[in-house]
A and B are shown apart, each in its own frame.
Chain A
Amino acid sequence: MATAQTQMQTKWWSGGKSPFNVEYGKLMMWYFLMSDAFTFGAFLISYGTIRFSQNYWPDPNQVFNAFPLAGHANLPLAFVSLMTFILIVSSVTMVLAVHAGHKNDKQGVIKWMIWTVIGGIAFLSCQAWEWAHLITGEHAVLINGELTNIGTTVTKNPWGPAADLASHEGHHVGTPGPVAFGGYFFGITGFHGFHVLSGVVINIIMLIMAINGNFERKGHYWMIEKAGLYWHFVDLVWVFVFLCFYLI
């Protein structure tokens, strides 16, 4: 209530203070994230355009159905659910690190930043496994009347429509799918993965600075807050990557 009143009575544009009541760095982080949202948006919309222009597009449930150490078990979307959950949890630990920073609780910041870094590394490891599995996991498809084993890469896509009559060791055999699938998948999840990687590096730097007491000497933990904004944005982008590539 008191805050609402201060808000009403302050002349925000009279100078000498931030009219948005945030420090410069945080404001600029917000505007950077907005521009980054447009970058990711443009990539995803480009993917959508190409997907809408195709008569056939692979079903994500068939492409993403593997789980580490589960052999050939058909587990659609299980692994990507785990990745999503890891990223949500690491976002929560980041919120708690920022919260500890507000209270100038050095040990709390250190503890939660360590968990956030672990979450980020876990996500990257999962993505590495998924990429390796897609690229090296070969499937027999009919190309020019001949059965050929191909993996999913930026130039090859074994996830096409079923071939008319062919069968291979009792299995139905497919034909190559739209080549754009691999390019967009590796391009966009790669760009997101690179954001996660840089987020992990930033978080490690924040962790070292917190341990060294840099923020304690400054008297505030606002840097953690800015790194936190970036980290949440990475989680936010994953919501849409997850939506566009795995769910619909």
Chain B
Amino acid sequence: MAAAAKVVTPVRADFEGIVREHQSMVFSIAYHFLHDRPAAEELSQDVFLQLYKSMGALESAEHVTRWLRRVTTNRCIDQCRRSKLMPRIGLDQVAEPAIPAGLPDIMLSRALSQLVASLPANWRALVILKYQEEMETEEIARALDMPVGTVKSQLSRALDFLREKASRMLRETV
């Protein structure tokens, strides 16, 4: 009886509210991953369609948020693997975007965004969830179904890579 009551098709108005509440989070994860606004919108729409069909199994607002982060990230990783959006050149060969002197913060931000987009899909997911969503290592591990140790080590390697590239950029501009 309780299980039957739990599986309720969401009322349209309620669901539209959920879309409006989470659209920025879902779209931003997809955009930072794919660096392509139309592709990010399409993927985000697909995620919300999947959410609509899965609403009966979700028990709370927090569950919906966790579900959206996990499904969006996994779809992004899958899309990268399918469409070969993975870096087409080796990490060592990624050129640092030039930063004109005088505008370090804005340009650094833009350059870092591009550097993140050049990371392998798994590293990219970890960096986006940590810095966009401000998630703790344990939360990321749960969301991506990965061991905490793996999350820590991969995040550390991704940040070392970004730090090295970013500091090289800054040295060159000072």
Co-assembled chains A and B: no
Q: Measuring CB to CB, which residues of chain A are less than 8 angstroms from any residue of chain B? A: none
Q: Measuring CB to CB, which residues of chain B are less than 8 angstroms from any residue of chain A? A: none
